[in-house]
Chain A
Amino acid sequence: MKIEMISFGKIAEFINNQKIDVDGIADTDAFKQYLENQFPALKSMKYKLALNKNIIQENTEITNNATIAIMPPFSGG
């Protein structure tokens, strides 16, 4: 399963944009678990995932060559 990861803001400081090739990630819940294992700093942060440019509100199946964006909230002005 090939997944492209795009991250923003503070999250981009420790997760580079990258393409990963991993087995066993069938849906967004599994991806989230994978992410938090790889990058434990995420566990204490608020963030939202978007699969192929659509915000994830419930567990969603991931297909090959998906793009997943990882977005934290911004408040600065």
Chain B
Amino acid sequence: MSAERYNRQIILKGFGEEAQQQLLRAKVLVIGAGGLGCPALQYLAAAGIGHIGIVDDDTISLSNLHRQILFSTADIGKLKVEVAAKRLQEMNTQIGIIRHPIRLQKNNILDILSRYDYILDGTDNFESRYLINDACALLNKPLIFAAVSGFEGQLAIFNAPDHLTPSTNYRDLFPIAPDKGEVANCAENGVLGVLPGILGTMAAAETIKLIAGIGQPLTNKILSYNLLTQEQYTINISHGGGYTLPKTVDEFLNMDYQDTSEGPQGYIEIDASELVKLQQQESTILIDVRERHEVPVLDKQIFTQVPMSEFGAFMSKEFYQKHVVLICQHGIRSVAAAEAMQEKYGDAKKIYSLKGGIVKWRDHFLRP
């Protein structure tokens, strides 16, 4: 270890050489290299966390750049973990960065989490958050949780006991996940880039405090942060009931996390905002499966016309695009097309169907 690199924190009263060694020995997994994950990763890497894992299966799109500050315009279309790992390794050559370009699911999460000491959840959806919470509880891994909504953020440390209370988990706050659509995510809701920047940085600070054993980490507490007022409000969490936490691997594997990507259907139903995101992504083909006479007529430069009556013939040919978005009038035929595609390609391609179809998202399609 180069003491000079970390000199300014080693000479800090209440930190010192011993704390620096603890950072160096720590293995931290950051899940989601997005608005929260990017700043968290930057500070964890700079501070000298010895082993940092990054999980993300997504590629960089233009609308990420205002808040995902590890990425530049030239990186659009590249895998987030690849770009993030390269940038972080250039910044700190003395640490190990491990890439996990996958989506965490029931069948892979326990294996990956078990390789790390601390888990930082910077994901953007409830399915992942409950999956990660339950996996951390099962494996007894401290979980640093950060999330944003509008101009506000939440920050907490779960699954780490303190001297007063046995460890609590996310389900002690919210026993079951909201229904899909009950709470919008960033893609639907908008977010000022600096907000996840602040929360992600605070999550990195909590991780460092927890590892180094300094200060009072937010163990068994949840902090609410308001960007517009700069107010913070901290609430003590106690153990609650009314929920089921899987106690064994078998119980965990039998839980329902509403994970569309591993559900029986395989394909993913999306809304118009996700369609926009996919349109900006490389290697995406948008397919209109309506018959040729149907209206409104979509721009044929953007939407490839493959009517259902010709779909079998289309499927017999190969095409290179990795993401396939299927669109029809009401989102019913596109589901049938998605099922057929899923059956043929399995995991080789990602298949999407626009839920509700053109009728539901008329404004999106008829925008000048």
Interface residue ranges, A against B (CB under 8 Å): 6, 8-10, 12, 44-46, 48, 50, 53-55, 57, 69, 71-77
Q: How far is the CA of A12 from the CA of B239 in the complex (A)?
A: 26
A54: contacting residue among B173, B191, B235, CB under 8 A = B235
A55: contacting residue among B32, B182, B238, CB under 8 A = B238
Q: Report the interface size class on chain B.
A: 35 or more
Q: How far is the CA of A54 from the CA of B254 in the complex (A)?
A: 33
Asked whether, in the complex, the Cβ of A69 is within 8 Å of the Cβ of B150, the reply is no
A-B contact count (CB 8 A): 97
Contacts of B125 in A (CB 8 A): 75
Using known A-B contacts A8-B224, A9-B152, A10-B150, determine if residue A75 contacts B183 with beta carbons closer than 8 Å.
yes
Asked whether, in the complex, the Cβ of A48 is within 8 Å of the Cβ of B191, the reply is no
Using known A-B contacts A9-B149, A55-B240, determine if residue A73 contacts B186 with beta carbons closer than 8 Å.
no
Asked whether, in the complex, the Cβ of A53 is within 8 Å of the Cβ of B37, the reply is no
Using known A-B contacts A76-B148, A77-B124, determine if residue A53 contacts B173 with beta carbons closer than 8 Å.
no
Q: How far is the CA of A53 from the CA of B153 in the complex (A)?
A: 17
Q: A55-B237, A55-B240 are in contact. List 16 more A-B contacts (CB 8 A).
A: A10-B150, A46-B178, A46-B182, A54-B238, A55-B173, A55-B238, A57-B172, A57-B239, A69-B233, A73-B183, A75-B124, A76-B191, A77-B32, A77-B147, A77-B186, A77-B196
Contacts of A50 in B (CB 8 A): 235-236
Q: How far is the CA of A77 from the CA of B195 in the complex (A)?
A: 9
Contacts of B32 in A (CB 8 A): 77
